[in-house]
Amino acid sequence: MKVVTICGSMRFSNDIIKIATELEIDKGYCVLQPVYNCDEKVLCDNELQNVKKAHYNKINISDAIFVVNVGGYIGKSVAEEIEYAKSLNKEILYLE
């Protein structure tokens, strides 16, 4: 079973949830998703670092990342995640 971490802007959170479901149902992948700040709580620097570290750990244990780049959009954080995944020789999959 392929383990895939989804990377994408939180502005695409609805797309990310839909894609994660499709990847699990259609492809049989084990999908790791970003953490969603549903309460829109303002996170302190330590909390932001914890979330970032956890996401990079997800990339570490994945076979690939799936970039949700709606309209071709890739922000700074996602670009950094792509470069990190490339440095680990991970497969990079793109929505578009």
Count of domains for the chain: 1
pLDDT digits (tens, 9 = 90+) for 52-79: 999 999 999 999 999 999 999 999 999 9
Rounded CA-CA distance 42/40 in Å is: 6
Cα-based distances in Å from 76 to 1, 8, 27, 46, 79: 30, 10, 29, 20, 5
pLDDT at 25: 97
3-state secondary structure of 19: helix
Question: How many CA atoms, within 13 angstroms, populate the side-chain half-sphere of residue 96?
Answer: 9
Q: What is the pTM for the complete model shown?
A: 0.91
What is the domain-level CATH number for residue 89?
Answer: 3.40.50.450
Percentage of residues in the chain having pLDDT higher than 90: 80
- The H or E element that residue 78 is part of is helix 76-87
**Residue spans of the chain under pLDDT 50:** none
pLDDT value, residue 49: 92
Q: What is the pLDDT of residue 38?
A: 63
What pLDDT, on the 0 to 100 scale, is given for residue 61? 98
Specify the pLDDT at position 37: 67
Q: Which domain holds residue 70?
A: 3-94
The torsion angle over the Cα atoms of residues 41, 46, 48 and 49, rounded to 10 degrees, is -170
